[in-house]
Chain A
């Protein structure tokens, strides 16, 4: 790199400074361009909200597993509730057993309301937003969480 001599930068050194001084921002900018390129602006993922059929499709006092969306839909006297099947530990799909849910990956155990009974899971299973459309269909949003205990009355 150019060195100062007697407090004055020599002319050719000054030119070198300009050259590298412009080239490095361009390099940095190109890295930024690349990062922007890598992050997609649109996704082809399925929408987080989906229609889950009509309420009467679900028998009373039943649990239905929508495997594709990884959601358990419960229907009981109190109404409908949707419980995420995504383990809060590292994202495996939990399986329903007699009393609750078991995660096959690292052995977390949840009760029927999603509370952690044992294992490494840090928090309860998520309760998902569930609502009715104006056409009378159930709509679930896997990205929108509601407070534990929320039920949709139909």
Chain B
């Protein structure tokens, strides 16, 4: 044992080791800071974070979880690309091959599909969390807008994703989706033509949606994610109550001996400014371990789900038969319900107004108070208005999912759908 320890010690003193790991492990404050700032993956975080930001009940971990799901989707997606051929003749058979003959093919497909569903849910919840804690307020107005763009990208990614197996769902979703686009003013029909690469849903359309799904949208997503994270740091970490209200019992931290370069030029409250009460914790290990554990929990949940439920696959695309009812995945059923009243109002105008409205929220609601707490009493009106929006979206989705049957007719859950 002593020899083993000597060996490890010797190893740690080699030039190779020292070129890779710049600092020791001993739990000194210096090492805890270096663990974050000298690590490529972790330097996304500040070396110290405010205490309230660590509280699960404040963030619910939704932002980090969204990013983790994006990573899971990237890894599983790249692996699935190895077997997937974006051809109307082969795509469906690829799904069968993944299920029946490729080792872990079904597992990967399930993980990919269920992570995608979960990501839509989590990103939406993240938006709600930020709203209800007032996180979009000055100076974070711009980052709120980036967040809305990320939500839209998530939705487009799922839309383009579930088209790829070329089953009935895929075919009719492209048909309906691109027809909705054609209702957009002036450019509508051109957009449809460009998306489909023609007038009918066929090989060109599948190829285009594939390129969108595996290159264009992920690259956009990555870029906007980077901006999102960057802005979180530049806006002074995640939102929280104003520092004066924290009521810190501890003495102010001594000013850092080392200056932090350009960090000194950044406006707004940063965690390491002198004169502020000390309410920060080291990111490592406090936040890092939390993140690891949360990621493990989600992986376990995803695996359990993938173990018991297979990703849906309908019949091979059949242009001669529209399934009845032809339903999109649950997250688009609210939109489908709206579209069932009017393609232009429900499919173009209402979503466009909703998106613009949400992006403008920080500029409309300029009341600076109530940041950093859930459902602050100082922002009653804002909370009520936003809740109405969320509730409408939820109700529409529930109607589309559970109360609509053949020919988009109204059926209560206890009513049986007629056959044919």
Contacts and interface: CB of A to CB of B under 8 A. Distances in A.
B25 A1 contact: yes
A23 B289 CA distance: 13
A41 B103 contact: yes
A142 to B, nearest CB: 24
A38 interface: yes
B104 interface: yes
B102 A33 contact: no
Contact of B101 (A23, A33, A34, A42): A42
Interface string B50-90: 00000000000000000000000000000100110000000
B39 to A, nearest CB: 16
Interface in A36-51: 36-42
B333 interface: no
A36 B103 contact: yes
A38 B104 CA distance: 10
A40 B102 contact: yes
B101 A36 contact: no
Main secondary structure on chain A at its contact with chain B? helix
Nearest to B296: A23
Contacts of B79: 34, 37
Contacts of A33: 103-104, 107
B71 to A, nearest CB: 13
Interface in B98-136: 101-105, 107-108
A41 B100 CA distance: 10
Contacts of A41: 101-103
Contacts of A38: 82
B105 A37 contact: yes
Nearest to A40: B102
Pairs of residues from A and B, 7 with the lowest C-beta to C-beta distance, nearest first: A36-B103, A37-B104, A33-B104, A42-B101, A41-B101, A37-B103, A37-B79
Given A34-B104, A36-B104, A41-B103, 6 more contacts: A1-B25, A33-B104, A37-B103, A39-B103, A40-B101, A40-B102
Interface of A: 1, 23, 33-34, 36-42
24 contacts: A1-B25, A23-B296, A33-B103, A33-B104, A33-B107, A34-B79, A34-B104, A36-B104, A37-B79, A37-B82, A37-B102, A37-B103, A37-B104, A37-B105, A37-B108, A38-B82, A39-B103, A40-B83, A40-B101, A40-B102, A41-B101, A41-B102, A42-B97, A42-B101
